[in-house]
Structure 1
Amino acid sequence: MKLFFEQPALAILLLLLWRAACEQIVFSDNRPAISIQVTGPSQADLNATVSRALNTCQVRELLGDSRYRLLYSELLSPSTELYPDTKDEGNMFQATVYDYTRGRVIFPKGILPDIFSSDVALANIQPLPSLEELAEAARIAGIGPSVTENARPYMPPYEARDFPDGTSHRLLHLAIGSANLSRLAYVNMNNGSVQAILAQGAVCQAPADSNQASVNINTPGTANFVISKNGNTLWAFEVTRPSSSAGTNGAGIELRNVKYKGKSVLYQASVPILNVEYEDKTPPVSCGPYYRDWQNSEYPLHCPPAKEFAPWLRLCKTPAATIVDPPFTDGGDFTGVAVSIEGQEVVLKSQMTAGWYRYTSEWRFDVDGTLRPRWGFGGVLLGDNCICHVHHHHVYWRLDFDIVSAGNNLVREFNNPPIFPGTKYHDKVYEVKREKDPGCHRHWEISNTRWRGKYALIPGPNDGVADEFGVGDMWVLKYHPGEIDDGVRFTSAIDAKANIDKFKNGEVVKDQDVVIWYAAHFKHNQSHEQGPEHGHIVGPEIRPLQW
């Protein structure tokens, strides 16, 4: 396509804008080059549309004279539960408004920038607090925040006080952290009452809380990446920052439309489910015993700047460091997605917070076509110091494989020694849940039945095996657009378990569009950690076999 301009100045301006939007970083040595283009509506675009949507007659009638707060607004990913039948990359938005007077949530939603396409839903649920609501809760509690303190959600982040008519009051579970002290409180945001909590912290060797602010969830951020070497394009994919990732509780760094050497590998890849179980379930231990965590609250990490593509997207001079990387300290100088070139790998890394936990979402793209998903587990001393109590983490990747094409995909399992006579391989014909088996060198291969292309999914050596709470290791499912996660919100009850089994209903998966869920499990015993080292990293390997 050719573009012609009557005014040369306009052509020059557009050329400069293109260069600013799509920048390539080329190194003089043998490392891969990267090209990054930031895309999607801005926060200002989103705010402007949401402001107009809140002023529509429909929303004004619902709010009336209520005391309310706009907690946050978000761009919805395609194929969410709100728009389950669309793959349109249109700019769908949703605002989350809490009505304190009537104890309910109002969700105006629609398509940018057309507010006339908007609709409104009501629900009695408890969303995560925004930074502004946390600051208000701290003010009500009379415990800050000051310039040296930051309020953050504790675990569980809220409770609902339900009434017979189905409405509820919103109680925020608040932690106020400073250099040497953590204070806890429940703050009723509906009537302003406060219940102070005495922290009874255990003692162990763990990193100190850096007491830095996180980023509001649902803050937009999307970019297109191209990784090349010697002028040849290798990887191309779309990245969404954790704060804007899809799913009920977010999903860490989210990948879409992942291609290697021009052919499709994955349509979508992320971590929509993350939970934890504590071993000691008897009073007076106040930790857990179960939590479903969230993966969209970004926290600072260390990333010495080499190039900043957007406020949330930075190329680091040296590898980015989170709490699970040397020198194993909390916090940093950058919040968002950090990019680094490490040998023949391009590495994307973010750090997130959920109460006292610190999580690392990481994707490692090797020039040889190998993709290494990684998830790091860490934590800090805060409140009851639950990091000191033995607990089990479970992380669930959702890998929507589209090997060469969306359909015609086949999943085969490898076992040696064989579990079927005479063959080390067998096809997955129907939806199934499988466990890891290191003794059989078990792994899975995903291929296209019509076109050349095959990848292997190989369990990592530290990925553990399923148990009663960590309910599985691997699922092969037929793709359905609404099955991004199991819909369980943040909770401290036994229903924090992953419920991927509800998607397994016997459908044919052979020669179909398939989704694989892969889980890793890790026992965290802080007393076993020696010296400054802290945290653990898990994850499989996604390796090309035929391409």
Structure 2
Amino acid sequence: MATEILEGDGLRVRIEPLEARPHAIADNPQSLLQQRELRQELDGTKHRLLSFQTEDDDGDQPVRFKAAVYDYTNQRTLLAAGDPDDLGSVTFTDSTIQPLPTQEEFEEAIAVLKQDSALGEPIQSGALTPYRPMPPLANATLADGTIERILNVGLYSERSDLRHRFVGVDLARGAVDHHPEAAARASDDDCGVRPVDRCSRPGRSGKVRVTVTKEGEELWGFDVVRPLQSSGTNGSGVELMKVDYQGRRVLQRAHVPILNVEYSGGGRRHGCGPTYRDWQDEEACFEADGDDVVLGYRACPTPARTLLDADTDRGNFRGVAFFIRNEQLFVVSEMAAGWYRYISEWRLHADGIIRPRFGFAATSNPCTCRTHHHHAYWRLAFGIGNAPSVVQEFNDPPVSGVGSWHDIRRETRRLRHASSDRKW
């Protein structure tokens, strides 16, 4: 681990790893499978740890963890939770919730397809190229409520009139469904760049602290969490935490906890959508040249280039890149969700303005040619001067009878209205 310095446009940026004390389970999630009750429950079964996530209280240390273990033999998910330092505190519940597929599962699904009588030879010869599609699962619900976990696999062919087709793989039985219902239809439509995404996959690596100064005066100070370790069930992209400007707290946390894709009628008729809830904790490759602060965080003297800039899925880095341009510090990462590629970006200007940006792209697929909309929902947890949170709404003319500004006292949904110049 090393502290890195970036300089440009009068700004000096210091990026340093945040030291975290060891945690018995958080540092080695696979050790969870050795917990006595869980080991007894899974004895003799085929199972796999599919997800592991620590929760925090906006402090520096995790206070709890959540994990999902899938039992293929009994077609069920075991949800575990507890203290990241104490195996004895772990509790688990039986659930039908289906976690997102892991890269390890996808590779096992390809191995099953290579043994299929119809698909094995063309996959091994390269005539068919497997890729991760949307939706990621084509689960089947049995009469007794059991859910069969079936991974969707896309198959691409350059030399066929049918560019894209989809199959389902049941890892519990090693079986292949050649016509899964919960998948896009086979199609000769082809949109997006060729999928590559083959750079190395760095493991978990904590947070970094960023300090931005100008002429010796501190402007910005904040923590950064990479998408791989971001909060929420489906991740939340690049997270900023404890954001200070000129020594005063501005935001406690800033991220995108919800990301949806919605297809209109034309796409739906071809099996696309109608909506997908996408995840933001799977990092994709992009071009970022520089020096690593710690695995997954890179200080770049020149601007990083995502798929939107380079028009390619190739890259040399996964994680968060930092660079300076136009008196702004850019904090950027590229993420993958099936064939989608998302760019999570924050721009912090010397004048105190934060500009969040979210980009949308895709690798080869039959759906994004058709009309669809991406909906990214930012969550900004303000912490002005560490004072208690107050949310106010402005309307002109007023709607509350007590002036243009009024307090929002309870969680609610409020729509923009141009006629009243509504803002918050």
TM-score bracket relative to the smaller structure: 0.7 to 0.9
Give yes or no for contact 2:64–2:84 (8 Å, CA) kept in 1.
Answer: yes
Residue 59 (structure 1) aligned with residue 38 (structure 2): yes
Aligned twin of 2:237 = 252
Give yes or no for contact 1:153–1:172 (8 Å, CA) kept in 2.
Answer: no
CA distance in 1, matches of 2:270, 2:22: 42
User: How much does 1:268 deviate?
Assistant: 1.1
CA distance in 2, matches of 1:50, 1:208: 35
User: Once structures 1 and 2 are overlaid, which stretch shifts more, 142-151 or 274-283?
Assistant: 142-151
Choose the corresponding residue for 2:11, options 32, 56, 60. 32
Aligned twin of 1:100 = 72
Aligned twin of 2:182 = none
Give yes or no for contact 1:178–1:211 (8 Å, CA) kept in 2.
Answer: no
Instruction: Report matched runs for 1:351-366 at 5 Å.
Output: 351-366=334-349
Give yes or no for contact 1:207–1:330 (8 Å, CA) kept in 2.
Answer: no
Residue 123 (structure 1) aligned with residue 95 (structure 2): yes
CA distance in 2, matches of 1:150, 1:226: 45
User: Once structures 1 and 2 are overlaid, which stretch shifts more, 270-279 or 314-323?
Assistant: 314-323
| Cα distance change, pair 200–219 in 1 and its aligned pair in 2 (3 A) | farther
| Cα distance change, pair 48–434 in 1 and its aligned pair in 2 (3 A) | closer
Choose the corresponding residue for 2:414, options 416, 434, 445. 434
Q: TM-score, normalised by structure 2?
A: 0.85
Aligned twin of 2:50 = 71
Aligned twin of 1:200 = 187
User: How much does 1:318 deviate?
Assistant: 2.1
% identical aligned pairs: 34
Give yes or no for contact 1:108–1:120 (8 Å, CA) kept in 2.
Answer: yes
User: How much does 1:422 deviate?
Assistant: 10
CA distance in 2, matches of 1:435, 1:191: 49
Aligned twin of 2:141 = 162
What's the secondary structure of 1:338's corresponding residue? strand
Task: Give CA deviations for 1:478-531 in whole Å, capped at 9, x if unaligned.
Answer: xxxxxxxxxxxxxxxxxxxxxxxxxxxxxxxxxxxxxxxxxxxxxxxxxxxxxx
Aligned alpha-carbon RMSD (Å)? 3.2
CA distance in 1, matches of 2:244, 2:111: 49
Instruction: Report matched runs for 1:418-457 at 5 Å.
Output: 418-419=397-398, 425-431=404-410, 432-438=412-418, 440-444=420-424
CA distance in 2, matches of 1:152, 1:47: 30
| Cα distance change, pair 282–96 in 1 and its aligned pair in 2 (3 A) | closer
Residue 342 (structure 1) aligned with residue 325 (structure 2): yes
CA distance in 1, matches of 2:316, 2:60: 36
CA distance in 2, matches of 1:300, 1:294: 16
User: How much does 1:113 deviate?
Assistant: 3.3
Which consecutive aligned stretches of 4+ in structure 1 deviate over 6 angstroms post-superposition?
Answer: 42-45, 144-150, 214-218, 421-424
User: How much does 1:220 deviate?
Assistant: 4.5
Residue 276 (structure 1) aligned with residue 261 (structure 2): yes
Instruction: Report matched runs for 1:459-478 at 5 Å.
Output: none
| Cα distance change, pair 313–179 in 1 and its aligned pair in 2 (3 A) | farther
Choose the corresponding residue for 1:110, options 52, 58, 82. 82
What's the secondary structure of 1:73's corresponding residue? strand
Choose the corresponding residue for 1:397, options 358, 366, 378. 378
Aligned twin of 2:350 = 367
CA distance in 1, matches of 2:92, 2:173: 26
Aligned twin of 2:153 = 174
Aligned twin of 2:306 = 322
Q: How many residues align?
A: 408
Give yes or no for contact 2:382–2:389 (8 Å, CA) kept in 1.
Answer: no
Give yes or no for contact 2:10–2:215 (8 Å, CA) kept in 1.
Answer: no
Task: Give CA deviations for 1:321-343 in whole Å, capped at 9, x if unaligned.
Answer: 22223x43333221111111112
Give yes or no for contact 2:398–2:405 (8 Å, CA) kept in 1.
Answer: no
Give yes or no for contact 1:135–1:151 (8 Å, CA) kept in 2.
Answer: no
Read off the aligned partner of 2:305 and give its amino acid letter. A
Give yes or no for contact 1:179–1:209 (8 Å, CA) kept in 2.
Answer: no
User: How much does 1:410 deviate?
Assistant: 4.3
Structure 1 spans left out of the alignment, 5+ residues: 1-19, 80-86, 445-547
User: How much does 1:153 deviate?
Assistant: 3.3
Q: TM-score, normalised by structure 1?
A: 0.67
Structure 2 spans left out of the alignment, 5+ residues: 180-184
Aligned twin of 1:187 = 169
Aligned twin of 1:312 = 296
Give yes or no for contact 1:216–1:297 (8 Å, CA) kept in 2.
Answer: no
| Cα distance change, pair 396–192 in 1 and its aligned pair in 2 (3 A) | same
User: Once structures 1 and 2 are overlaid, which stretch shifts more, 208-217 or 159-168?
Assistant: 208-217
User: How much does 1:437 deviate?
Assistant: 3.7
CA distance in 1, matches of 2:383, 2:157: 47
Task: Give CA deviations for 1:146-180 in whole Å, capped at 9, x if unaligned.
Answer: 79898553111113322344332100111255877
CA distance in 1, matches of 2:20, 2:203: 13
Read off the aligned partner of 2:110 and give its amino acid letter. A
| Cα distance change, pair 332–352 in 1 and its aligned pair in 2 (3 A) | same
CA distance in 2, matches of 1:408, 1:43: 33
| Cα distance change, pair 347–42 in 1 and its aligned pair in 2 (3 A) | farther
CA distance in 1, matches of 2:24, 2:42: 24
CA distance in 1, matches of 2:130, 2:241: 33
Give yes or no for contact 2:240–2:253 (8 Å, CA) kept in 1.
Answer: yes
| Cα distance change, pair 420–98 in 1 and its aligned pair in 2 (3 A) | closer
Instruction: Report matched runs for 1:510-529 at 5 Å.
Output: none
Give yes or no for contact 2:255–2:378 (8 Å, CA) kept in 1.
Answer: yes
Read off the aligned partner of 1:100 and give its amino acid letter. Y
Residue 386 (structure 1) aligned with residue 367 (structure 2): yes
User: How much does 1:136 deviate?
Assistant: 0.2
User: Once structures 1 and 2 are overlaid, which stretch shifts more, 141-150 or 284-293?
Assistant: 141-150
Aligned twin of 1:409 = 390
User: How much does 1:271 deviate?
Assistant: 0.6
CA distance in 2, matches of 1:188, 1:413: 53
CA distance in 2, matches of 1:344, 1:277: 36
Aligned twin of 1:287 = 272
